[in-house]
Amino acid sequence: MDKADLAAKIKAGIESAINGVPKLLLEILYPPETIENLPQLFERIDSAESDIRITLASGAIITLEKPIPKHGESEPAMFNQVGLYLTAPHGRLLWDGKKTALVKSIKLKSHVEKPIYLLSGDFAYGIIKLGQPKEISLTEFKELFSKHQVSEEERLKWWPKATLLYYYPVSFIRRWDHPKRWKKQQGAQLFVKNVAFLEEQPFGLSTLIFAKEKNNPEYKEDETREEAIITEQGKYGDWYKIKTDPKKTYRYVAQHHIRGNSVHTDLRFETNDHLIGWTLNTPGVPEGSAKPQKEYMGTKEDKFLHPADPSTQKDYQILCERKLIQPKVWLTVKGRIEAGGIGATKFKPADFEIISTGRVRFGTQKHDFHEYFLDPDAKWNQENTVKGRWIFTYIPRPQHYTRAGEGKFMWACWKPKDQKPYTETQQLDESIKKAEKEKGYVLWQHPFKGLEKEEDFREGKKKSWIY
């Protein structure tokens, strides 16, 4: 192989030319005029335990890396096998870019500015580096929420007496395409020594979903796929199965979530310590219109603000997706989120516009049906529009609709003409029979009287979230 061909292969980062090495830990300066020193370069590459970054005289950077090893092997990129353990889901939030920093109550002396594994729950997500800590006040803690994603409730639970905290920026040395299962160790640990991986096995469904979305340029970071929700509920219980106290006040917020000319509506409901929510595919664009979606905000195509029963007005159901659990700070989020922040894309900013707030009451909850009663604050003047009973139900997927997962069914919502609670118009016995047949559940609940009956026929009887 002549020098020109070899140099071209190096520049292209072709694996066969170098036979791989891990990434971004060891830098070799390689000006083209020293090409006669390639044998020494290859000797260093072959013996390296780290990835190689070659910086050319032109300023271009070439990264050479080995294929990711099987789960049963140690990671060759590491000089030691130390990992940082984070309470789920904070590891995955880092992995998918929804947070970029950590907060701790202590000033760490070890493993700062060094490569360490990112561990969270059952998975390792890659190799990260902690930046130098910055001391922050509780006020700064709240201001930096978009970076660290630690809720006020979590802070009070983890560090109830702390008045000062430490903020650590996090960068990825290697962000794995697919998280790896690791051999969890007994006892509470912040830093885990001798990290080992389990034998190679199929990834969980949510892992595959998030990996697929992460590489999709159309992926919207704040939205979740229905398959991922189902997988998470298998671990933590169904957070949409909510028993409420009718004497308590629960708040809701609706926001237009705007990215460029694209818009959808986020609807979030308060529980005791977090929010549940839905992503509504509205406003719509009339068939044949060349105007961008943004132009229809506030018009009759904005079907949350101008609802109708689809039995009386065709196509007035709103197709929607469920969200993962979110912190309460989202009840007041508005304004611009810069590119890379929560709710924005990697390269484009997002804007949040609050369009409704008020009180929500929870009615009957079933595996394929949810009922909510919205009472908007007076300032919105939505007495004859948003106020009232809304239902969310599982329907056959319209053939033209490809978002929100890929199954045969999906969620849709609307404000029905019949505003009476489900428990006043339907038969409990019939609902129980249907749930038993479909291996589902029924929470027979009146918005003003509370829970009357609960039946759960799902395998393992998933946990209820009781509030």
**HEC secondary structure over 266-281:** EEEEECCCCEEEEEEC
Cα dist. 264→35, 254, 256, 275, 402 in Å? 55, 10, 6, 18, 15
Q: Please indicate whether residue 462 or residue 150 has the higher confidence score (pLDDT).
A: 150
CA-closest candidate to residue 223, choices 125, 344, 102, 132: 344
97-118 confidence digits (pLDDT tens)? 889 999 999 898 888 888 888 9
Residue of higher predicted confidence among 465 and 185: 185
Token code pair at residue 239: 């957070």
- The dihedral over CA atoms of 466, 120, 143, 264, expressed in degrees to the nearest 10, equals -70
Residue of 343, 141, 344, 365 lying closest to 240 (CA atoms): 365
Structure confidence at residue 79 (pLDDT): 41
Nearest-angstrom CA–CA distance, 222 and 51: 32
The model's pTM is 0.53
* CA 454 centroid distance within chain: 30
Q: How confident is the model at residue 284 (pLDDT cuts 50, 70, 90)?
A: confident
The residue behind tokens 């992460």 is: 214
User: For the structural domain made of 83-203, what CATH number should be given?
Assistant: 2.30.130.30
Is 70 exceeded by the pLDDT of residue 211? no
What contacts 313, CB < 8 A, 6 or more positions away? none
Highest mean pLDDT pick, 203-217, 339-353, 357-371, 449-463: 357-371
Give the integer Cα–Cα distance in Å for 9 and 183.
38
- Domain regions of the chain by residue span: 3-64, 83-203, 226-466
Confidence class for position 141, pLDDT limits 50, 70, 90: very high
Percentage of the chain surpassing pLDDT 70?
Answer: 68
How many angstroms separate the CA atoms of 368 and 446, rounded? Answer: 17
Instruction: Work out the pLDDT band at 196, boundaries 50, 70, 90.
Output: confident
Q: What is the pLDDT of residues 238-270, one digit of tens each?
A: 777 778 888 888 999 999 999 888 899 999 999
Per-residue confidence at 414, pLDDT binned at 50, 70, 90?
very high
Coil, strand, or helix at residue 362? strand
Percent of the chain with pLDDT over 90: 33
Overall average pLDDT of the 446-463 stretch = 81
Q: Which residues fall within 8 angstroms of residue 291, CB to CB, at 6 or more apart?
A: 285
* CA-based max dimension of the chain: 86
What mean pLDDT comes out for the span 69-84?
49
305-338 pLDDT, tens digit per residue, is: 999 888 777 767 898 888 877 888 889 888 988 8
How high is the pLDDT of residue 422? Answer: 96
Query: How high does pLDDT run on average in the chain?
Result: 75
Does residue 172 or residue 53 have the better pLDDT?
A: 172
pLDDT grade for 399, boundaries at 50, 70 and 90: low
Distant-in-sequence, close-in-space partners of 287: CB < 8 Å, separation ≥ 6: none
